[in-house]
Chain A
């Protein structure tokens, strides 16, 4: 299982070619500041989000057209994505940090092409997955956060980790095995670890789906308070009210792109219309 995880991570990196000098991005790939800033404290540029452009993106997976021509530019601080199970939301989210690359078209994050500059894109774009157990990679809480902090001396790293855990109320769990945390705490740890890498954009794919109401609120409040740009995929429509812009995905296409009110209303209509003749079933 371990070998497979590492091999999977490696295999999918293999398609990243070297960057061609001709297509210089507007911002250098290694513009991530190397200065040491405690993770609890926000670096000055964190609030400066990314410009994400999807240009006529098609994604074909396992012989299926999962996304069919998505063309959007995301610059808002809070972008929501809603849609039915299997509509392509996760694939859309994964495009943003290059975990999935387009079959046709391209995805640019601050001018960096996710296909060629995957690693550089992932340094700017943090990703929170649905299942916290699948994204906590180290045995203990502190070690997991430390895995995100690179290129600083050990003592400095330990201080950054301590501050980051304190900021999310996890300080007294630092040396606990991650698997003993509650689901809500695990997801907070996942967020803490993502933030410790100091991304400028945080993409969260249904981060509260496995949490109870109280933990959902807690997690949503943490997300809302972030200075970073956030793209949030969720079935919890109440979370969409706080968004600046909401995309509705249906059958591989963005079918509505609007303020939360009208976008959610569109999504509800879509579901209502499909309901009577519902032969499609859950997917």
Chain B
């Protein structure tokens, strides 16, 4: 399971408005980043754990959110342990894990469309200074859509390089990746036009 993939559900966390969840995430992040006392950080960790329980997404989904950190956290912990001592090291790393988990929970329980719509609403004031907010929202959607496409392209290019014995040749990797990305972008432009972007 990829992190940040929406899982349908009916829990309180699922039903909360996307805008409120994003604002909450921003608020908790601000508090947690300002806090250095073990008590505050413990409260944040506890709150995140409680929200996961309420959302009922399961341990596997929770693990998937923080899994990308699994290589960074031990290193971070070790370095901080040695430089700052055990308590600050634990406080700082658990804060990081809690915030990543919380952001993951927001994405797990909120449709991408709702996240984007909330961001779009948040950006609406920009319309007054001449920004095409509708187009900006479309671009955000496209960006989300393109992540897996580009990831797949990168894997294909890497496999092709390996199959031809070029494990570490940056050029052999970068050139087809860039060319492939541009070609994909052109194809996407055609698809948007075929589907009436110009209406």
Contact = CB atoms under 8 A, between A and B. Distances in A.
B181 A1 contact: yes
A2 B187 contact: no
B169 interface: no
Contact of B152 (A12, A126, A179): A179
For the residues of B in contact with A, the DSSP-based class is: helix
Interface string B1-43: 0100110100000000000000000000000000000000000
Interface stretch (B45-53, B98-106, B120-128, B188-196): B188-196
Interface residues of A, number: 45
Nearest to B8: A175
B111 A175 contact: yes
Interface string A129-164: 101011111111011001110100000000000000
A143 B113 contact: yes
7 closest A-B pairs by CB? A8-B189, A134-B187, A179-B148, A5-B188, A135-B191, A4-B185, A127-B194
B186 A8 contact: yes
A230 interface: no
Interface stretch (A72-80, A116-124, A271-279): A116-124
A9 B185 contact: no
Interface in A1-15: 1-10, 12-13
Contacts of B55: none
Contacts, number: 134
B87 interface: no
B184 to A, nearest CB: 6
A131 B190 CA distance: 12
Interface of B: 2, 5-6, 8, 111-113, 135, 138-139, 141-146, 148-150, 152, 181-182, 184-199
A254 B57 CA distance: 58
B146 A1 contact: yes
A188 interface: no
Contacts of A193: 195
Contacts of A16: 198
Contacts of A133: 149, 152, 184
Contacts of A25: none
Contacts of A123: 196, 199
